[in-house]
Structure 1
Amino acid sequence: MTRHAPFFNQTRSTLSCIYTLLFISAACAQQFQPDVTLGPSSAFVDGKALYILGGDSQSLSQNSQAFMIDLSVSWGTSNPAFTKLPDGPEASSSPSAISRDGKKWYNLVNGTSHVYDIKSGNWTQSTAPIQKDKESKPKAKGGPSTVGLAAVSNPDTGDIYIPFGYDGSMGRTKSFSMLTVNLTNETYDHDDKYSSKTPQRFYSVAWSSPLQSLVYIDESGLYSYNITTKERVVLPKKEAPKPRSEACLLSVNGGSRMVLFGGIAEKTVQKDIWVLDTLSFKWIRGPDVADGDERTRAACGVSNDYIIVWGGANKQGQISNSTLVYDLRNGTWTTDYVALSTNTTSPTVAPTPTPTPTPTPTSSNMTISVTASPTANTTTTTLTTAITPTDSISPTLPFKETSTSIQSPSGSVSTSTSVPAESTSGPDRSTHVARIAVGSVVGALCFAVVALGLVYRRRCRLAKEKLMKDEDPFAPNARLDEGTPVREFFRKPR
């Protein structure tokens, strides 16, 4: 049987290969799938990631899951690029924002500041107290009072603003104003000009650099608030979306545009999407999302002129497990998110030793991109078991109406635009297609190798049976007569 040893060794090697390929195939097939939730806290970095924390399950139980949707690669809505992050605090509809440098993810939960370091992947709690002085000790309200609040980051100063996040109540005197967070110094302040005796909830807020203002919408209307002048302005209501709560409000291109999607208006979950030009203050309505895909209390972000929506509930109160993508360039809902081309480079100017001009090579494949630093926005959400109107929220705001018309900011306003690469669908979509193709090839290869292993196994068994029937290991030329017992054959003298 020694002459069959190579055959058996080959069979063992084949089986080892099968086990290895099966392991690789199983590893490739496994991908993190988050639990769908209602009212997750979220913030995003354009071109990098949409960060999502917590939320409520269908039974209204909060969880601490944290994950991100990778926005640096292209993907389809049937298979978004989810990446698991270390669990954070249990949160639901809590203020959430990204720091100016894009390295920290801030969340205010139950009166405590939780910060996720994006580079190290660690959660920390801020030790700085959120208070005014030792006597009054006003603080960001803990427990359910942080639910329904939202945060917005100012990319110019790095401050994070949380409307009605500062509780300055003393005794029977109630006062809720804007909380200001500085992550660099871990300090907190508040803006008494933006205050109310009753804190508002379930609003949406975003930052506009051209206006140097935060834009705010709730069930009473749409407003802007200038951080420097402390002026609050009511935006025009003509040809504008309905006032609403629990909607997605996102800043695009540094706030030169605002995108509003979903939410609850007139006790109904909305499926419309609007784009606001903050320089002309004109609204443009896009196509409604399909029935059943309307959302409230969802996580939202924007990247490369694509709006990404995850989680939330529809008008039936069902938590959705699908991801939505809206293409701002074409004004259509789509099933593909296309990341910014990795071949895009920013123009640079290098010093030259002599003023002699040199020719600049051109190429049809060369692209130039000028992008604005995005602001980190937070989607706003509510805390209702089913989709119910927030009738208890007072539509009356405490601010003094200073103007009912809008004037463009004085001086020159410098805005940045995003110039897409000449072809963004080719190399980026091929990454997603290649991933699917590799999985299919690995599966087919595993099937073929398993079948080959079965064939080898059968050949091995047949060879062994033939050897036992036809050959005597002690006398290779001897033949076993048919009907002769094996023990008598070996006893027969040669």
Structure 2
Amino acid sequence: MSLHLHCSILGAMFLFFLNSAQAQYFTPITVSGSAFARTDTHLYISSGSNGRSGGTEIQYKQFFSLDLTVPWTTSAPAFKQLSDGPQQYLFPAAFSQDQETMITFHSGTPFARRYSVSKNQWTDSKTVVSGGGNQGVSAVTDPTTGQVYLAGGYSDPQRNSMDIYNFNHDAFVQNVLPASASAFPNRAYYSNVWTSKRKSILYFGGYNSTLKEIQNFNSITEFVPNGNAWSTLVTSNTGPSMRADHCMAISDDGSTMVIYGGRPYDGPSSGEVFMFDTTSQIWKQGVSGPPRLYVACTIAGDNLIIWGGIDAYGTLASPAMLIYSMSNNTWITQYTPPASYLPSGTSPSTPSPSGDKGESSINAGAIAGGVVGGLAVICAIVLFFIFRRRQHRPKPVETDDSSDCKLSPGSDGQNHELESMRAQLQYQQEQLELQRRLLGTPQNQPHLQVFQQQHQQQQLHQYQDGTFNYQPPIVYAAANSSSPHTISSPDSIATSSPDLNGIVAHSSGLVHSGYVDGGSHYIEAKSVAPVIYSPPPPVVSAATIHSSKGESNGLWEGRIPGNPHAILEN
């Protein structure tokens, strides 16, 4: 397999494990009216209700965070479950200056609750608010001082104060709202954000103290905490109509404020998207999405992220998140962390006002780079093991049959000796073959039969006589065919007889020299190549063997059955 194919497989495996990891994310119950707030890296969402779906309202205590430093899809957001929060809905939340503590207001009993990020633990706040709880308010943190501002709300027609919460003292102080109704009329169910570009709080929408329409259409109210100053921003073009229960978020650098959804005074629930440039004070309308009310929202990079709420029919929205790309003016399904988001570079100095994120110096571009780098490392490891396996793969043994026939330089002497032995063996085989043919001639058959009978009698006598000693092999020597004489020997087992016609036997297995014809002739035995047959040998009568060249085939074919045990000498 090629490296490219290995890397493709590893990439597919990586995506599979990534999807498997995403499948392990927490899946919250979809609700509306949640409290939410931002840190540099996470969006925290607490509680909410079912929006009276089914006719009965149910409030939940679920609490979870959304990781903004990792990629995810709208169908599988990177949610993480945390310790349960207050059982409430339509209430605000904000973070401390160090982003270590989140506080919720209008939390039921007690009025406020604090959450420790490092401990994942909730504690009750000791703060109290005069005049009862503030309803329909929003909260936003000034990151320069760490103070939280809650303006207006309603509990009675005289609710016209600005409550300021101090994290260090866990206490409220109150300021009176401006007397001029044109600056910031008493309102509820509005939205607000902190803009670092203007060092101020921007307010948009809501109802008045009697939950009626606010007459100041298309107006943005600004509050500058440093000078305790209120003003209305003048816009050069038409923006969204006044509304309530909408989403309001600010970009990382504070340059763009976004309005999404809500309940306009002059129409049904909206899915409109409007972007406001805080420097030029110009509105720009985007592509509308599904109508939503009471959502949790924030901006990460140039992505507007939306979760929960109720739709235009008053039922709970789809569990899937919504992502709007402000730079491309389109709705997308894949979240990719911006290049400025990097967990190791997180700066804790900027809090998250009212579900919004202030400026952050996070540089998380290495997340995508880390993924690619990780895949590259894995591919390199696989390549290393492939090369290593190929190097250690057994190599085929080259065989050359011709090498078997090649002689080594030092083997000449051995080869010569082997050739000599082979020649000797061949010569002996030829001699034995000739001797067997000679024994098979017809004129020698009577003598061989007599010899076999004598040998059988000796064998029978051997079994009858217990004193019989072992008889060594019998050896015959063929005398010169021109002078056939019987050789006399004192140790022979056969007497001299002309019938033997020159063939004698002796017990030593060797042919001796001796006198014949009564001692008148002396015959010297020739050397022979003895052939010894295992005892007991058959009795045979020997006769002078005559053979001629050219008769061997005929003589061999005329041989009687049997195995004559004799040694012949030419």
Alignment TM class, shorter chain as reference: 0.5 to 0.7
Q: Which has the higher contact order (CA 8 A, sep 6+)?
A: 1
**What is the CA-CA distance between 1:419 and the residue it aligns to?**
10
User: Which residue number corresponds to residue 329 of structure 1?
Assistant: 327
Contact 2:195 / 2:202 at 8 angstroms: preserved in 1? Answer: yes
User: Which residue number corresponds to residue 299 of structure 2?
Assistant: 302
Give the secondary structure class of the aligned counterpart of 2:187: coil
**TM-score, normalised with respect to structure 2:** 0.52
User: Which residue number corresponds to residue 35 of structure 2?
Assistant: 41
**TM-score, normalised with respect to structure 1:** 0.60
User: Which residue number corresponds to residue 402 of structure 1?
Assistant: none
Does residue 53 of the first structure (1) align with residue 46 of the second (2)? yes
**What is the CA-CA distance between 1:60 and the residue it aligns to?**
2.2
- Flag the 1:344–1:61 CA change in 2: closer, same or farther, 3 A: closer
Per-residue Cα deviation, 1:7-38 (whole angstroms, up to 9, x for no partner): xxxxxxxxxxxxxxxxxx99995542111111
Which stretch shows the higher mean deviation, 311-320 or 105-114?
Answer: 105-114
User: Which residue number corresponds to residue 187 of structure 2?
Assistant: 200
Q: 2:352 aligns with which of 366, 376, 386?
A: 376
Per-residue Cα deviation, 1:463-485 (whole angstroms, up to 9, x for no partner): xxxxxxxxxxxxxxxxxxxxxxx
Contact 1:94 / 1:149 at 8 angstroms: preserved in 2? Answer: yes
- Flag the 1:232–1:209 CA change in 2: closer, same or farther, 3 A: same
User: Which residue number corresponds to residue 287 of structure 2?
Assistant: 287
Q: 2:144 aligns with which of 137, 153, 156?
A: 156
Structure richer in helix, relative to its length = 2
User: Which residue number corresponds to residue 90 of structure 1?
Assistant: 87
Separation in structure 2 between the aligned mates of residue 429 and residue 325 of structure 1, nearest angstrom: 24
Give the secondary structure class of the aligned counterpart of 1:378: helix
Per-residue Cα deviation, 1:85-108 (whole angstroms, up to 9, x for no partner): 111111211011111111111101
**What is the CA-CA distance between 1:212 and the residue it aligns to?**
2.7
Letter of the 2:188 counterpart: R
User: Which residue number corresponds to residue 317 of structure 1?
Assistant: 314
User: Which residue number corresponds to residue 218 of structure 1?
Assistant: 205
Separation in structure 2 between the aligned mates of residue 183 and residue 419 of structure 1, nearest angstrom: 24
Q: Name the % identity.
A: 27
- Flag the 1:212–1:422 CA change in 2: closer, same or farther, 3 A: closer
Letter of the 1:60 counterpart: E
**What is the CA-CA distance between 1:317 and the residue it aligns to?**
1.5
Per-residue Cα deviation, 1:226-281 (whole angstroms, up to 9, x for no partner): 22333322233532111111111112234222111111112421111122111111
Contact 1:253 / 1:374 at 8 angstroms: preserved in 2? Answer: no
Per-residue Cα deviation, 1:156-185 (whole angstroms, up to 9, x for no partner): 111111112697x8xxx9343111011122
- Flag the 1:28–1:206 CA change in 2: closer, same or farther, 3 A: closer
Separation in structure 2 between the aligned mates of residue 27 and residue 287 of structure 1, nearest angstrom: 32
Letter of the 2:83 counterpart: P
User: Which residue number corresponds to residue 277 of structure 2?
Assistant: 277
Question: Which structure would you say has the larger Rg?
Answer: 2
Separation in structure 2 between the aligned mates of residue 342 and residue 154 of structure 1, nearest angstrom: 22
Per-residue Cα deviation, 1:134-168 (whole angstroms, up to 9, x for no partner): xxxx25x33xx53x21111111111111112697x
User: Which residue number corresponds to residue 262 of structure 1?
Assistant: 261
Per-residue Cα deviation, 1:268-319 (whole angstroms, up to 9, x for no partner): 2111112211111111222212xxx221100112223322100001112221
Letter of the 2:277 counterpart: D
User: Which residue number corresponds to residue 230 of structure 1?
Assistant: 228
Contact 1:66 / 1:85 at 8 angstroms: preserved in 2? Answer: yes
Separation in structure 1 between the aligned mates of residue 187 and residue 366 of structure 2, nearest angstrom: 45
Which stretch shows the higher mean deviation, 97-106 or 115-124?
Answer: 97-106
Contact 1:252 / 1:374 at 8 angstroms: preserved in 2? Answer: no
Match runs of 1:93-492 below 5 Å: 93-108=90-105, 109-110=107-108, 112-130=111-129, 138-139=130-131, 141-142=132-133, 145-146=134-135, 148-164=136-152, 174-194=158-178, 200-219=187-206, 220=214, 221-236=219-234, 238-265=237-264, 266-289=266-289, 293-320=290-317, 321-341=319-339, 375-378=351-354
- Flag the 1:97–1:263 CA change in 2: closer, same or farther, 3 A: same
Separation in structure 2 between the aligned mates of residue 252 and residue 342 of structure 1, nearest angstrom: 13
- Flag the 1:184–1:165 CA change in 2: closer, same or farther, 3 A: farther
- Flag the 1:372–1:332 CA change in 2: closer, same or farther, 3 A: farther
Tell me, which stretches of 5 or more residues in structure 1 are unaligned? 1-24, 131-137, 347-368, 381-414, 432-494
Contact 2:297 / 2:304 at 8 angstroms: preserved in 1? Answer: yes
User: Which residue number corresponds to residue 404 of structure 1?
Assistant: none
Contact 2:69 / 2:342 at 8 angstroms: preserved in 1? Answer: no
Contact 2:294 / 2:310 at 8 angstroms: preserved in 1? Answer: yes
Separation in structure 2 between the aligned mates of residue 51 and residue 100 of structure 1, nearest angstrom: 15
Give the secondary structure class of the aligned counterpart of 2:87: coil
Letter of the 2:354 counterpart: T
What is the number of residues matched between the two proteins?
333
